Amino acid sequence: MTTGSRDVVIVGGGIVACLTGYLLGRNGYKVTILEADSLGSHASGFAFGGLDPLTGVGIPFPLLEFSLWCYGRHRGLARELNDNTGIDVGFEFRDRLHLAFTQEEAAESKKNIEWMKDVGGFNVEWVDTKRAIELEPQVSSECIGALLEQSPGALEPYRFILAAMRAGERFGVELLQRRATGLITEGDRCTGVQLENGTISAGIVLLAMGPWTGLASEWCGVNIPVTPLRGQILRLRSENKALNMAVNYAHSYVATKTDGLIWAGTTEEEAGFDESTTSEARDSIMADFMKMIPGMDDAELVQQTACLRPLSADGMPIVDKVTGWDNLFVATGAGRKGILWSTGMAQVMFDLIDKGKSDVDGSDHLKLDRF
């Protein structure tokens, strides 16, 4: 079976793919998104949905400006998607406490406050144990203080990806449940995508396959250094009062979500393409959960999920034209910050396809040739 030609074929159906498709479709491009599985069935649909531009890999250098751009775009995009689809993505402001239990952890937080306090739009300060408990009565009295971060956001990832796809469909973007197996090429041009059961022609091809994008290195002959990073999350039910804010410690977090459940996570596991949940991860997450919120020992485990995040070799996104190709692009590699960075990654990719360059703050640091 040969499917008719499209202006752009996007291989992969995660949030970056859907947002890019929406931007392209809105601007007159004929777009098809190829997703091997169902929409939102991987990392984009199972993520926690935190939107914190002040913490994580590459922050403050070199991605602070990019992260702030992405955060600002989320605020307007939530309304835009709601207007287009009627789907509320659940954007909200959610303060955070980053707990410290040792003097070394406290010193690191206070060091970060020195640059964080100069970022506009956020109030960041150190609070002692007494003040931390006043803000969130359920945090452990064993902490020696916390970094209080006011005004970061959060949203509901599954609603977000559904809204992005529905908004794209309003402008003719189509989603095909097909598995891509290779590229169809002529010289330095990619003329289409080989499918398990046919082909599809394309003027431009975008590889946005999440952790599977690295497999496309064999298709195009260019190393795309992306590997899967498994992350597991617990959803729990407790009779205790809902948490006032998100609480973080090291790489773990806990928060009460809009579904009324407590979400606790997450792990960072090199497990190949194994998406199964494990008892070891459950126990590790629960240990950090109880360290942060010791009074919730009655919490009932409702669901445990696992997903594979796309992790680049340096932990930062890759959004660029593939080296040596005239019309082949790649967008992947956001690791744990895929939901936050998705807005900027999609805008940069649209700009590169539409005009060959992007003015998004920090986009120069997303190039493939940095490797």
Look at residue 76 in the predicted model and tell me its pLDDT: 95
Listed in order, strand segments (DSSP E) in the chain are: 2-11, 31-34, 50-51, 92-93, 96-100, 123-127, 145-150, 153-154, 174-176, 180-186, 189-195, 198-207, 226-237, 246-249, 252-256, 262-265, 300-312, 318-321, 328-332
Distance CA 153, CA 279 (A): 30
Look at residue 1 in the predicted model and tell me its pLDDT: 45
Mean pLDDT of the chain: 96
**What does each C-alpha distance from 100 to 110, 113, 114, 337, 350 come to in angstroms?**
10, 13, 17, 22, 41
pLDDT digits (tens, 9 = 90+) for 126-170: 999 999 999 999 999 999 999 999 989 999 999 999 999 999 999
CATH of domain 2-86+157-225+314-370: 3.50.50.60
β 174-176/145-150 pair status: unpaired
Look at residue 2 in the predicted model and tell me its pLDDT: 52
H or E element at residue 140: none
In the chain, pLDDT over 90 holds for what percent of residues?
A: 93
pLDDT digits (tens, 9 = 90+) for 37-53: 989 889 999 999 999 99
The neighbour count for residue 127, using CB atoms within 10 Å, is 15
CATH class of the domain whose range is 228-312: alpha beta
Look at residue 4 in the predicted model and tell me its pLDDT: 67
> Which string of DSSP letters, residue by residue, matches 282-336?
HHHHHHHHHHH-GGGTTPEEEEEEEEEEEEETTSS-EEEEPTT-SSEEEEE-BGG
The pTM of the full predicted model, rounded to 2 decimals, is: 0.97
pLDDT digits (tens, 9 = 90+) for 278-302: 999 999 999 999 999 999 988 999 9
The two domains 2-86+157-225+314-370 and 228-312 share their CATH topology (first three levels equal):
no
Q: Is the pLDDT of residue 188 over 50?
A: yes
Give the start-to-end residue ranges of the domains of the chain: 2-86+157-225+314-370, 95-151, 228-312
Name the residue type at position 1: M
Look at residue 3 in the predicted model and tell me its pLDDT: 62
The CATH architecture one would assign to domain 95-151 is 2-Layer Sandwich (3.30)
